[in-house]
Structure 1
Amino acid sequence: MADVIRVDSRDAADVEQIWRQYVPSARLERIDPQRFAFHWLSVRLSGMTMVRYTLTARVHAAVQPEDQLFACRVATTDGWVRSGRSDLDVPLPWATDSTQVEAHWAVTADVSAFIFDRAHAQELARTITGDELLTLRLTGVSPRTATAGRHWNRSFEYLLNAVGHVDDDQLLEASLMRHALVTTLSTFHSTFLDAAAKDPHTAGASTMRRAVTYIDEHAHLAITVDDVARAVHMSSRGLQYAFRRGLDTTPAAYLRRVRLDGAHRDLQNSKPDVTVGEIARRWGFGNTSRFGDLYRQTYGRSPRETLERD
């Protein structure tokens, strides 16, 4: 379940208390009590925390993580971001898993950050690439290209909006975490990119049958494509390739269809007091409106029509 913290404060002590958890090396240098303002939002998921805050004060912050992978954007018109002796491009994000990065602003900054647990991120990166010996490391602080950096900025906004609809949806939470990690690791030079560039594993008929069987038997649970790949001992990328080659579809599309079929059966056989939303959530569809659109495209009528007619 997502852990959400919101703070709107004009008390510097609130900044210091929160920074002790997330950026212990940051400090407030000068505060104008008339202008000081702090607006904080953080959402902690399994293996990742998203942070967005605005701070009006004179600030110097230094980040040098040990057990985390830290990707961040400091948007300010009166400051700088620096790694060693190199100035970084302020409108773009930066990332580090060990290298120190410093930021300074004189008046106001809007800060956006993904903070990943390093061990969790490495496990997921190994599953995605199929490289069980992958040691996940960032090999550059700046984005590979300005275009990649701008894509990271847009993705952060999308994910911050989407995370507000997570509730207790473990499937959506895992999907958002995966999206955030892959976007970050694709934006910056890393060992993940090197591993992902290798030829994907291929699957024989028996492996494909195991994958299909696993989905058929576990679709009612909060499984992801990564879970399916682990269950049949192959990479997520290899599984994508195998489904495309063998079934002309993707694992995600096949899983979605199995879940739709399960929901369809439940709608046909449901008790009078059961709602469409309950059945949708039972089969991993956290967004009832989206479920309705998919259902209508597949069965030619709305879920409510099936529920009331059958």
Structure 2
Amino acid sequence: MGEVLTLASRDVGDVEETWRQFVPSAALQRVDPRTFGFSWTSAALPGFSVVSYRLSASVQSAIQPDDQLMACRVASRGAWVGTPRGDLNAGLPWLALDGPTTARWQQQADVRALVFDRSEAEDGARRMTGDDRFSLRSATVGASPVDRDLGAHWERVFQHIAGTLFVPGRSSAIVEAELRRHALHTTLAVFSPAFVAALERSAQRGAAPRTVRRAIAYMERHAHEPITIDDVALAADISPRGLQYAFRRALDQTPMEYLRGQRLAGAHADLQEATGVSVSEIAQRWGFASASRFARHYRDAYGRSPRQTMRGR
């Protein structure tokens, strides 16, 4: 399960020490300590972290995450963000990959970041695209969003992921695996036209019933585990985009819809046998972070609410 950290302090050293747990290259410079204070919340999963903090002070900070991929937004009036190649639009998220990035602001800033282990992110990108040669470098990933709308989309996704992972006990291993994939997919889609192009190239154009059967068998065996569509595609020996096409052609549904059906079936069985657990706990066990969304999907599948099933066992 993800490790959640919360901290409030008026010690400048605490900020830098805490940041370096997530981004070892982080450094604070030109800090005005007179009004200094910060509050921090983060969630750490293997190879992936979500960070949100408010820092009250005039600050300049610098990072150079050589072994990491970090997408960040510094929300502050008068903020400035720059790299050796030029200034970035401080009103949008930005991405640090190769080389240093520096940010500064006056009085107060709300900082939000998604931090990925670079090698794991690259492996994830290759699984998503089906392109074993795809690499994360400045030639394929930009420091700025492709456009303003995508920048706003990244912020919405960040809020969704943080809102789930920052609440202890709200997520399960299945939920966390999906959120980690969602975070990486969104970040790459926002900052990398090359990633989007590779996804488009990966679409399979022919029917693949054998591939679909392999995928179904894998999902039925592993639905209770934190698998993602990338894992299913790998087991079926096809790209995730090709798997989407094959499922649509063969079953008129997406692989994710099929996997959700398997997990709903598992939750249904647990509800029928439940003793001493809540509907919310069973929903989380089967990968549904939102109890209301779980209830909606469950009612669509079984014609009754999860609570009615539990009471009628």
CA distance in 1, matches of 2:287, 2:37: 40
Judged with a 3 Å threshold, the aligned counterparts in structure 2 of structure 1 residues 80 and 239 are, in CA distance, closer, same or farther, namely same
Once the two structures are superposed, residues 181-235 of structure 1 have per-residue CA deviations (whole angstroms, 9 ceiling, x without a partner) of: 1111111135423311314135522111111122222223332222211111111
**Alignment partner, residue 137 of structure 2:** 137
**Distance change >3 Å, CA 150–CA 273, structure 1 → 2:** closer
CA contact 1:9–1:38 (8 Å) conserved in 2:
yes
| 1:42-191 equivalence runs, <5 A | 42-84=42-84, 86-138=86-138, 139-165=141-167, 167=169, 169-189=172-192, 191=194
Matched, 1:211 2:215: yes
* 2:293 paired with 1:290: yes
Distance 1:116 1:124 in 2: 10
162-171 or 100-109: bigger deviation: 162-171
Deviation at 1:137, TM superposition (A): 2.6
Q: Does 1:221 align with 2:222?
A: no
Matched, 1:245 2:249: yes
Alpha-carbon offset, residue 141 of structure 1: 1.1
- Cα drift, residue 130 of structure 1: 1.0
Identity of aligned residues (%): 46
Q: Could you tell me which of 247, 252, 268 is aligned with 1:264?
A: 268
Whichever residue aligns with residue 260 of structure 1, its letter is L
TM-score (norm 1): 0.90
The two structures have a TM-score, normalised by structure 2, of: 0.89
Once the two structures are TM-superposed, the CA of residue 278 in structure 1 deviates from its matched residue by 5.1
Aligned length: 308
Q: Give the C-alpha shift of residue 279 in structure 1.
A: 4.3
Q: Which moved more, 1:181-190 or 1:214-223?
A: 214-223
Give the match for residue 308 of structure 1: 311
Query: Structure 2: 5+ residue runs without aligned partners?
Result: none
> For 2:78 and 2:289, how far apart are their aligned partners in 1?
42
Q: Secondary structure in 1 aligned to 2:25? A: coil
SS at match of 2:8: strand
Query: What's the offset of the Cα at 1:166?
Result: 6.7
RMSD after superposition: 2.3
8 Å CA contact 1:50, 1:160 repeated in 2: yes
Question: Relative to structure 2, which stretch is displaced further, 147-156 or 133-142?
Answer: 133-142
Counterpart contact for 1:78–1:108, Cα < 8 Å: no
In structure 2, C-alpha distance between the alignment counterparts of 1:279 and 1:146, rounded to whole Å: 39
Alpha-carbon distance in 1 for matches of 2:142, 2:77? 24
Instruction: State the shift of 1:163 in Å.
Output: 1.7
